[in-house]
Chains A and B, each alone.
Chain A
């Protein structure tokens, strides 16, 4: 860590897992939000309407620094940016200036910049602004029903007639996702006069009638000029309900990355354990916690039988963004340092495996029987030569498909079909639950395309071996 990072770390009050009462934790608990974003707010809208400028403005990254730093642009590629929202503790400090939104690296408090105020800005929310549509990871999570967003900011450009075709689609998506907590942002008001802005305001009101966004506040802003952004913070704090989270369940995380950080020629004594990264779906991970990873080590024994041996270890470190944690809650991507043999973690080897408390993880399956519902046609009309997307033909015995179970991916060979049930042999053992939702895809015109939705009815389990 360089000196700047050390300073940031010391600015964050020490986190302690000693007296951790999970029942008392909420998405606003100060100890948590110092280090992790706990509320996901989707930013929905067309990219030309100023979404990225808005995100930069909310997360404190200066606009106008385009193209220089590759790391900066990475934020956009990542599909999310975290921001801390602060409120001045001086009661007399007026709204909306008493609110401020800044990047996650900021410490717990700092002096209010209103002249003569004397108050301190204190941390009250740590939000993850998720670009929607955005990174594949979030879209993939939505595929099988994971709720990725707690609320949405719908961005509409003031200098366009409302509704634009895409805006209608965005609102449709919001409706379908059942998002109820919505704020509409009328962006780029600096480009139109008062009269035009008011006229479009009325168009927006008409447009959101009879939709989930019917009672949403409409806030005029200019992301480019950083104008009225504090009002957005004000509404986020006062209008977006605090999401309900369950921190008391047995913790579980799907691994999306794993690696070995040891340098070439490291001594056996200096070897650092492997690292797993992912998103905690429920519960809380703590340093020194005993954990299990399933399916674990997969191998074929000398009889040719597939076996798996779950990996057991201990958590030695936890981090989110640049913050070290002593405990981690659901929210964002968490790095978990362990004592696992680093070669088992090297090069994303554990991707798709599940990490969690010992003896609480789902069963491991090599075969599943599913109820499935075939789509009539492939989605979308583009990139097909004729005007109609191709009809989806039924499943065939021995054909191999892409199967997305929850947020996992595996291949599956169709063994048999009966009515609306199918039996599928998986190309690798995976953790799954009965009744878990899944999606089937087939290669069409050189790419995998969705062809069916499904649900696991039952499966053939692989008994894990507890030691080699």
Chain B
């Protein structure tokens, strides 16, 4: 007999908001600075229009200038169209300065909003990761990310008690965590029911790490001990999901909290499995799932975010008509090219 899938409340989601949990667990997490987002920044992030703030634009211009050896023939490219230079001069002087101060302090940062990091936009900047060393990096990531759009437009989408006026009550923040190159093989997602871990999943669930199996029991012990000592009964919800980084057997950190419910990826479990486990009211140690054998390279699940959504729509058969449309439009362009080539040749 399986239980019904859990319902998530607005309060559960709010409890997972960074400015709510970080002050409680600061000592056992990574160094972070929390910057409040003013309304103009929130509006900027919500808008589809994608222009960098002036400061970042200027930085990118400067980068071009520095990397030019000879002078470009810029002349016939500049201002072809007078109204092309519409006033897209966006600027948040105070906010940008705050970010610069943190960058000065930490050298490199990992950005996120209240709940999500722009992991889906990692294709935007070098090294395919979220290491930001300047303003442009940060804004490029925030503006290209569907995860960030979700945070800033519909954070309570999956809550049963969501109402229209909740969005305006949220104090949005930009979190800048001191950059550290974490090892995905050391991240573990823990499912907590009634203040007890009942299941643990390897977080990088598509890759095989040989070293995990021989130390599996030790991993469980370390995590449970860390949880019992520092997290249990201190988090405001009784059911939740917590991601833990196990750098070493005696060095563990809290990465993040997520609500207890299907909107949180259950990785190597299915939510029905987890619910079944949660109904077993024994004091057994949690079930630990990890990839136990080499199964080859898998397609990267982040690819879907690095291509236009039209592609994802086709893949999920939300719109097969589109495949034919997209393909034929590309053929049209090729024919158009061939035609114009033919014209110039006659």
* Whole-angstrom CA separation of A113 from B129 in the bound complex: 53
**B57 adjacent to chain A (CB < 8 Å):** yes
Contact, CB under 8 Å: A446 / B48: yes
Contact, CB under 8 Å: A176 / B328: yes
**B81 adjacent to chain A (CB < 8 Å):** yes
Q: Which residues of B contact A429 (CB under 8 A)?
A: 126
Contact, CB under 8 Å: B315 / A133: yes
* Whole-angstrom CA separation of A155 from B247 in the bound complex: 50
* Whole-angstrom CA separation of A134 from B303 in the bound complex: 13
Q: Which residues of A contact B320 (CB under 8 A)?
A: 133, 166, 169-170, 173
Residue in A169, A278, A367 whose CB lies within 8 Å of B324: A169
* Whole-angstrom CA separation of A28 from B88 in the bound complex: 58
Residue interface bits A253-296, CB-to-B below 8 A is 1, else 0: 00011011111110000000000011000000000000000000
A-B contacts, CB under 8 A, total? 278
Interface residues of B in 260-304 (CB under 8 A from A): 268-270, 293-300, 302-304
**B4 adjacent to chain A (CB < 8 Å):** no
Contact, CB under 8 Å: B323 / A448: no
**A348 adjacent to chain B (CB < 8 Å):** yes
Contact, CB under 8 Å: A261 / B310: no
**Contact stretch, chosen from B30-38, B63-71, B98-106, B156-164:** B63-71
Q: Which residues of B contact A322 (CB under 8 A)?
A: 293-296
**Chain B interfacial residues counted at CB < 8 A:** 98
**A375 adjacent to chain B (CB < 8 Å):** yes
Contact, CB under 8 Å: B324 / A382: no
Contact, CB under 8 Å: A399 / B129: no
Q: Which 6 A-B pairs have the closest CB atoms?
A: A263-B211, A277-B297, A409-B306, A416-B77, A333-B297, A321-B296
**A250 adjacent to chain B (CB < 8 Å):** no
Contact, CB under 8 Å: A441 / B293: no
20 inter-chain pairs at a CB distance below 8 angstroms, sorted by A residue, are A79-B299, A142-B327, A169-B324, A265-B248, A306-B67, A322-B294, A348-B300, A367-B64, A379-B325, A380-B319, A382-B313, A396-B51, A400-B144, A409-B306, A411-B140, A427-B124, A441-B308, A448-B309, A449-B308, A449-B309
Residue in A136, A145, A173, A445 whose CB lies within 8 Å of B312: A136
New contact pairs (17) apart from A347-B182, A447-B309, CB-CB < 8 Å: A5-B293, A134-B315, A257-B207, A259-B204, A260-B183, A320-B297, A321-B296, A322-B295, A333-B299, A348-B129, A351-B122, A373-B333, A380-B322, A401-B50, A444-B48, A445-B48, A449-B310
Interface residues of A in 338-369 (CB under 8 A from B): 343, 346-352, 366-367
A343 and chain B: residue at smallest CB distance: B181
Contact, CB under 8 Å: B325 / A380: yes
**B344 adjacent to chain A (CB < 8 Å):** no
Contact, CB under 8 Å: A411 / B297: no
Contact, CB under 8 Å: B50 / A139: no
* Whole-angstrom CA separation of A442 from B128 in the bound complex: 20
Residue in A333, A398, A443 whose CB lies within 8 Å of B298: A333
A172–chain B nearest beta-carbon distance, Å: 4
**A194 adjacent to chain B (CB < 8 Å):** no
Q: With A264-B186, A349-B128 as known contacts, state yes or no: A139 contacts B315, CB within 8 Å.
A: yes
B333–chain A nearest beta-carbon distance, Å: 5
A277 and chain B: residue at smallest CB distance: B297
Contact, CB under 8 Å: B296 / A425: no
* Whole-angstrom CA separation of A334 from B85 in the bound complex: 47
Q: With A304-B62, A320-B296, A366-B67 as known contacts, state yes or no: A264 contacts B329, CB within 8 Å.
A: no
Q: With A166-B320, A176-B331, A320-B296 as known contacts, state yes or no: A428 contacts B80, CB within 8 Å.
A: no
B215–chain A nearest beta-carbon distance, Å: 8
* Whole-angstrom CA separation of A447 from B127 in the bound complex: 23
Residue in A332, A347, A409 whose CB lies within 8 Å of B307: A409
A335 and chain B: residue at smallest CB distance: B297
**B234 adjacent to chain A (CB < 8 Å):** no
* Whole-angstrom CA separation of A277 from B321 in the bound complex: 32
Residue in B52, B295, B317 whose CB lies within 8 Å of A133: B317
A453 and chain B: residue at smallest CB distance: B333
B262–chain A nearest beta-carbon distance, Å: 15
